[in-house]
């Protein structure tokens, strides 16, 4: 796995659609994010098949439940050979610790485990009004990131705009995986806290997660390459 990379959010409804998309890439094997829609539709078989084709995988199921349930669910997921998976930091330090314990394989290895701070579709106004969180968005993100570090996880999912302050609070080695990426000339859609691939690199993202700007592009391979060049520097 590369230290800095572009992860494509394969938010497709079926295996057929996913492979039609992945077949467009010839020799490149982009890092693929499998989210709830695809996983719930196709189950673990889709993970095994994408892995067999040589793609690194981020299994984005955002677990959030009582610690015992999360521990056991992670133990099952650890048998899938994914490279990264995640939980919600809102589940508390105890839940995150349980996730990490459950995820570890008998040989001591495990995928990277990261925690979602606040979804990049959530605005501070909605967080305060609907969730009764009185802190600011930045305070919440930093606190969730520190909790994640304390629980022994590898990093967080956050907006690219927050990657710098997360690194400052948790250290350079603490990973930031950032969705909410848009080209300067693209559509924001439902995302609120967004920036471009190049700016995400400047702020300190380790991995950017890009969905619709690639999957809905007229030429997805070209859009992916544009992200890689802007974010990583070279193809
Ligand atoms: O299409 P778009 O680029 O907005 O896709 C972003 C992806 O990142 C989606 O799969 C979404 O579920 C995911 N994500 C997010 N914000 C988070 C965590 C994950 O947008 N905080």
pLDDT in tens, 128-150: 999 999 999 999 999 999 999 99
- Whether residue 235 is predicted with pLDDT greater than 80 in this model: the reply is no
What is the average per-residue pLDDT within 149-161?
A: 95
| CA 49 to centroid of ligand 1, rounded, Å | 22
Residue 197 has a pLDDT of 96
> In degrees to the nearest 10, what's the CA dihedral of 115, 120, 121, 122?
80
Confidence of residue 72 (pLDDT cuts 50, 70, 90): very high
DSSP track, 61-127: EEE-S-HHHHHHHHHHHTTS--SEEEEEGGG-HHHHHHHHHHH--TTS---EEEEE-S-TT--HHHH
Residue 124, number of CB atoms within 10 A of its CB: 17
Write down the catalytic residue from 3, 33, 62, 167. 62
Q: Given ligand 1 and candidates 57, 180, 181, 226, which is best to mutate, with the most ligand atoms within 8 Å of its CB?
A: 180
| CA 11 to centroid of ligand 1, rounded, Å | 9
Residue 163 has a pLDDT of 95
pLDDT of 169-186, one tens digit each? 999 999 999 999 999 888
What is the CA 51 to chain-centroid distance, rounded? Answer: 17
Active-site annotation holds for 29: no
> In degrees to the nearest 10, what's the CA dihedral of 1, 224, 201, 31?
-20
* Two structure tokens written together for 219: 């030429």
Percent of the chain with pLDDT over 90: 85
- 6 contacts 30 by C-beta, under 8 angstroms: yes
pTM of the model: 0.94
- Whether residue 234 is predicted with pLDDT greater than 90 in this model: the reply is no
């Amino acid at each position: 796995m590369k230290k800095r990379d572009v992860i494509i959010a394969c938010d497709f409804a079926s295996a057929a659609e996913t492979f039609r998309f992945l077949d467009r890439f010839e020799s490149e094997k982009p890092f693929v994010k499998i989210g709830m829609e695809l996983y719930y539709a196709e189950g673990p078989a889709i993970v095994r098949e994408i892995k067999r084709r040589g793609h690194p995988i981020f299994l984005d199921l955002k677990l959030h439940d009582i610690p015992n349930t999360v521990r056991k669910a992670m133990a099952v997921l650890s048998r899938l050979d994914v490279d990264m998976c995640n939980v919600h930091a809102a589940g508390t330090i105890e839940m995150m610790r349980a996730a990490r314990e459950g995820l570890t394989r008998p040989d001591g290895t495990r995928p990277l485990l990261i925690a979602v701070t606040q979804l990049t579709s959530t605005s501070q106004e909605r967080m305060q009004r609907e969730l009764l969180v009185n802190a600011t968005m930045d305070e919440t993100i930093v606190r969730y990131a520190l909790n994640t570090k304390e629980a022994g996880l590898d990093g967080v999912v956050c907006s690219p705009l927050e990657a710098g302050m997360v690194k400052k609070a948790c250290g350079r080695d603490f990973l930031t995986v950032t969705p909410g990426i848009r080209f300067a000339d693209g559509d924001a859609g439902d995302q609120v806290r967004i920036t471009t691939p190049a700016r995400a690199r400047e702020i300190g993202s380790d991995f950017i997660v890009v969905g619709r700007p690639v999957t809905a592009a007229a030429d997805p391979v070209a859009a992916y390459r544009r992200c890689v060049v802007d974010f990583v520097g070279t193809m």
